[in-house]
Amino acid sequence: MAASLQDILNSHHTGRPAVMGVLNITPDSFSDGGEFFDAGTAAEHAAAMAREGADIIDIGAESTRPGSARVSPGEQIARLGSSVAAAAGTGSLVSIDTSSSVVAACALEQGASIINDISAGRDDPEMFALAAERGCGLVLMHMRGEPATMQRDPDYRDVVAEVRSFLAQRIAAAMAAGVKAAQIIVDPGIGFGKRLEHNLALLRGLAALCDLGRPVLVGASRKRFIGELTNTPAASARTLGSVAAALYAYAGGATILRVHDVSATCQALAVWRSLENPAGF
Ligand code: HH2
């Protein structure tokens, strides 16, 4: 059975993994750009991911791949059309991947229950007030710089400590604006202003982020570091590497896994969890 919002927000206590399936309604996403750009195809893909076991469908109308340009709130809303309502009708939860409070408010009206803000409330000063008022889930993600510039020679002294301290600060800022701790999910932002070694260090160091006391979301699926490690240039051919990264992240404490390949990830998690919990069998 698909998880409730409360299940997701408590998943760091229960250890129940939640699979978040990606639905990009964009012409240019690195992983699946253009594939789901019309309303009918988007709704079908949402329904397919729900059937495959997605607890959450994460809908975005702005690509955030390195070098991508911004998309205005009006254009994001136009691209979304009725896809949030269609995805909410599948029985999965819906998260809206946007840094704009106007787009987020529109998606919440249509049935979304989580705001996935890759800017962690830095792009739009109204975002925290909206999340506070609506009591929805709120993903705060780490990003160095902006998508347009973030891969220009990113450097850290201690990437895990710096990401942890950034997320702690953003939790404090959200709470100062009235968001409850219990609404918040944190995310190290794999691939956002990070080189290969930074991504690997963060995946190895998830315990430090779990220590913030909130569920940890990891989005490693099809990302460039998997291509670099395996010499797989085509993002769509990175499923097996993505599943390995998702399992490793789950074993390291992440309970929300943002993935393109829902069925493969759910199958891998089912086997992993059965092996981990002999009492259940
Ligand atoms: N990654 C992407 C987009 N949104 N949100 C969170 N919380 N965490 C992530 O790691 C994350 C995210 C990038 O992946 P994708 O949506 O496939 O590509 P694009 O940004 O090009 O649409």
217 Cβ closer than 6 Å to some ligand 1 atom = yes
**Residue 223 is a catalytic residue:** yes
From the CA of 277, how far away is ligand 1's center (Å)? 31
**Residue 258 is a catalytic residue:** yes
Q: Indicate if the pLDDT at residue 142 is higher than 80.
A: yes
Rg (CA), the chain: 17
Count Cβ atoms within 10 A of the Cβ of residue 233 and give its class: 0-12 exposed, 13-18 middle, 19 or more buried: exposed
Tell me the pLDDT tens digit for each residue of 172-205. Answer: 999 999 999 999 999 999 999 999 999 999 999 9
Query: How many CB atoms within 10 Å of residue 141?
Result: 25
List the alpha helices (DSSP H) in 156-195. Answer: 159-176
Tell me the pLDDT tens digit for each residue of 87-121. Answer: 999 999 999 999 999 999 999 999 999 999 999 99
Q: What does the pLDDT read at residue 76?
A: 95
9 Cβ closer than 6 Å to some ligand 1 atom = no
Phi, psi of 40 (to 5 degrees): -65, -45
Q: What does the pLDDT read at residue 126?
A: 98
User: Across residues 220-229, what is the average pLDDT?
Assistant: 98
Q: Indicate if the pLDDT at residue 280 is higher than 90.
A: no
* Cα 255 from Cα 260, distance rounded (Å): 16
Q: Which residue out of 28, 59, 70, 97 has the highest number of ligand 1 atoms within 8 Å of its CB and is therefore the one to mutate? A: 97
User: Across residues 236-253, what is the average pLDDT?
Assistant: 98
Selected catalytic residue, list 79, 144, 170, 223: 223
